[in-house]
Structures are given as C-alpha cells and as structure tokens.
Amino acid sequence: MENVSVFLEAMALVFWLVIGLVALAAVVLFIVDRTQKADAIRRNYPVLGRFRGIFSTLGEFFRQYFFAMDREELPFNRAQREYVKHAAQGKSSTLPFGSTRNITVVGTPLFVPSAFPPLDDQFASSEPLLIGPNAVTPYNAPSFFNLSGMSYGAISKPAVRALSRGCQMAGCWMNTGEGGLSPYHLEGGCDVVFQIGTAKYGVRDAEGNLSDEKLREVAAHNNVRMFELKLAQGAKPGKGGILPAAKITDEIAEIRGLPKGRDGISPNRHREAANADELLDLIGHIREVTGKPVGIKTVMGDPQVFVDLFDAVAKRGEASAPDFITLDGGEGGTGAAPMPLMDLVGMSIREALPILTDLRNKAGLKDRIRIVASGKLVNPGDVAWALAAGADFVVSARGFMFALGCIQALKCHKNTCPTGITTHDPRFQEGLVVEDKDMRVANYAKNLVKEVEVIAHSVGVSEPRLMRRQHVRLVQPDGSSLPMDRLFPSEVVSA
C-alpha cells in the first residue's frame, strides 16, 4: 500500500507540473500574440487565434484523405493518382460495377467505338518515328510516351537514378530538364533529351553564354539523342526556372555552373533569340555543333507566333526548321512558380494542340517537324486524346512522379518532400529505394502505352498514331458531344 501511495503522489506531482507548464506556456503565448503586430487574428485573439493557422494547414491533409471525392482534387485527383499507382505496381486496371467519372463535364473526350474493330490478330504496336532527318545523327524514337523535363536539383539523385533506369526498361526517352546532364541521367542507359534552358546550365561558359565546347562534350554521349531549347513552360510562361538556394548542393552547383548560397534564377528568355529568324539561327547553330536533332519547348499564347516561325522556315527551306516542337499547356506543373503565372498565363493544351498541329500541317511541315504534347497528360485517355488531336509524341513529368511514389504533398519547393523525390535531405531520400522505384517507372510507361493501344483498337485502328479527330467527341455545355474534327476541322490531320 505504501508503494501505491508513493506512486499516486508522484503521478499527482507530474500532473500538476504538466498543468503548470501548460499554463505558463499559455501565458507566454498570450503575451507574444498580444504584442506582435504581423497577425491581426492572433493579436485580437491571443492563443486561440493560433488554431486558425493550425486548422488551415491540417485542412489540406483532411480534404485529401477524408473529404474530397475521387474526382474532385486539383491539380490531380485521387482517381488519376490511383491509376498511376496501379499501373506502376503492374496491377490490372480492371474495375467492378461502373465508372466514377462524370462524363457530362464540358470538354470531356469520349472516344468513338468502332462497330467493326480489328480482330485480335490484326493489332499492331506503334513503330519508331524518325526525328531530325537533316541532323548528322537523327533519332528514331521508339516510344510515343516519354518522360518530360525534370532537372537534377528540382528532383533528387535517387529520383533521377530510378527514372533513368525505368525509362531504359520501358524503352522511352528521359528529358534532363534545364539543370544540365548529371551522371545519374546516364546511369540507366536510357535515351536522353538534353534540355537547354535560358540560363544554359551544363553548356554555359563562365559568363553564362552558350559554350560550343560544352555542347560538344554533352553531344559526345551516345545516350544523348536530342537537344531541346526551352523557351517557356506551362507553369510559368515568361519567367525562367527557379531553383531555391536550399536545394543547391555542391554537386548541383558544379553541374549547373552555379554559385552556392543564392537561388538559381534563369532569365525569362534566351538573349540570342528575340524573333523567329534569330531562333532559327540558334537552332541551326546547336544542330551544327552537336550533330543531333534540335527542337524547342514553348507555350501557346498568340498562334501568330507559330505562323511567323513557319513563314521564316518557308523562306529558308525545310532544313532550317526545328526538328520538333514540345507544346506545353498552361496547366503544366513545376517545382516552383509564381501563382499568377501558374494560374493565369498560357493556353490550355486542349485548345493549343489542335491549333499548332493545323498550322504545322498547313505549312507543309507535317513530316518535318514532330509535335510533342505536354501538360497534365498522365492517363491513357489524356495521351490517346493528344495523339488523336495530332501529336506525334506525348511527354509527362508528374505521371512519372506519381510512379515514383509522389503523394501530392505540395512540398516540392521546400526541400521537405516526404517521399524523397524533390528533396536533397538524406533523411527523406532514404525512403526512395531506386531498385524498387525503377521497376514502377517502367511498369507505368509500359502499361500506359498498352492501354492507349486498347483505346486505339476500340475506335477501329491498329495502332495509336492512326487515331484521328473523328475518333473523339468532346462534351459541350448543353451536355451533348460533338466530333473533335468538327470543332477543329483540318483536312490534313483527319485524312
């Protein structure tokens, strides 16, 4: 009994000690909140006002996991993420009972089933497609679905390694993003597209100008198949890339040619290219120095820009044309971008892609310039729509991030990504096991291609690039749907 009494007395002492500490903390917080001037709520409602910030932060978590329906979230809903997860794990996409998708939403693509589709033995896989016939070393690209640009720096070392290995297994290309070429891009042995951003990371001299010597060094790698001159990206048209100083390690600084300790801010455009003619000069120079196909990445605003570009090509000859155009949509994503640009600037890929392909075809450049579609295209229906609209290839970044294990925590710019994908904190990187995630990357790419082929067969063609606009109907505001070739008529594309 004596031991019990001592124990109870000790517990009572601990209890009152805790109460005292809580009361003291409340008094301190009350004084701090009442005297601070930055937050009116905390100043008027000391201590209690702090719960507003806590609940606002937790609200994002609870909405994602408990309250939002499968098709409600942005930028990607649960159904989209779950598809990638199942595809990456190699699981079947077969579901019971019926679709949860609301097919009355304006703009929803509905594919037109054929009354007499090809038989099982009449199906075919997509053939490789040649890019850059005028380059010394053209590229015969094997897959219509590939990895879009994500820089080493924006994403982590294990993420780059897993993507490189997974892309090799899937037979698709990997875009370096504008952060330069690292050993980890080459590790897996996949085809690589080297992106040249406005800061020329990885191919710049001491003054930040384009270096022919470094261009040749990059091009000397057999895995580097093409060069992409980045003019703009969908999440921040008109502004260069942003790499927060917290994410610039010694290695990243060396690869990019950046000083440590301050944010890596790229110019908003290439100084060498102020008009269509200067752009063609720059493209031609890079192609001559590297011997590899060279294209551009941009976002559509005024279509007249592309008219001017194609007119300039017509005056010079087809050999002067960019070998490909990667068209990003205003809905595209990034690790860090100002909200006004992310929300308000740039045409959606859904509107811009048919316009660009029509302009290219009208200029007689259909077989000369390949169109690569980008911008929130992560599921089979998205990719099939883009091919039917006229794209030759589709690229995705965030789809592959979900395959790596991204949970859409929205911490990409803070170096605190809990899945280890966009952080350089070793503690978080430990969670990303390359030997597991590389297979998931490969599974995602291969299964998506397979399911796009299923859609193609369903509409009555033997392989995805044979899909045309008449194979897709788009839902209208009154709930009816119209064929895409009626909304975007083009004799060349729909032939």
* Whether residue 75 has a cis bond before it, omega within 30° of 0: yes
Per-residue pLDDT band at 256 (split at 50, 70, 90): confident
Domain ranges of the chain: 2-67, 120-494
Count CB atoms within 10 A of the CB of residue 127. 11
Q: pLDDT for 290-306, tens place per residue?
A: 999 999 999 998 999 99
* Whether residue 340 has a cis bond before it, omega within 30° of 0: no
Q: Between residues 156 and 365, which one has the greater pLDDT? A: 365
Query: Is the CB of residue 191 less than 8 Å from the CB of residue 292?
Result: no
Q: pLDDT for 414-450, tens place per residue?
A: 777 888 888 877 888 888 888 988 999 999 999 999 9
Record the tokens describing residue 193, joined without a space: 């597209």
Q: pLDDT for 90-142, tens place per residue?
A: 776 665 655 667 777 888 899 999 998 888 777 777 889 999 999 999 999 99
Q: Out of 182-186, 226-230, 236-240, 284-288, which region has the weakest mean confidence (pLDDT)? A: 236-240
DSSP symbols for 125-169: PPPPEEE-TTSSS-EEE--SEEE----BTTB-HHHHHHHHHHHHH
pLDDT at 493: 42
- H or E element in which residue 483 lies: strand 481-483
* Partner residues linked to 370 by β-bridges: 324
At a CB cut-off of 8 Å and minimum separation 6, what does 429 contact?
Answer: 156, 157, 158, 420, 423
494 has pLDDT over 70? no
Domain 120-494 coded CATH 3.20.20.70: yes
495 has pLDDT over 50? no
Three-state DSSP state, 471: helix
Strands (E), 57-124: 109-111
pLDDT at 29: 79
254 has pLDDT over 80? yes
Per-residue pLDDT band at 170 (split at 50, 70, 90): very high
Q: Between residues 225 and 207, which one has the greater pLDDT? A: 225
pLDDT at 455: 94
The per-residue pLDDT of the chain, averaged, comes to 84
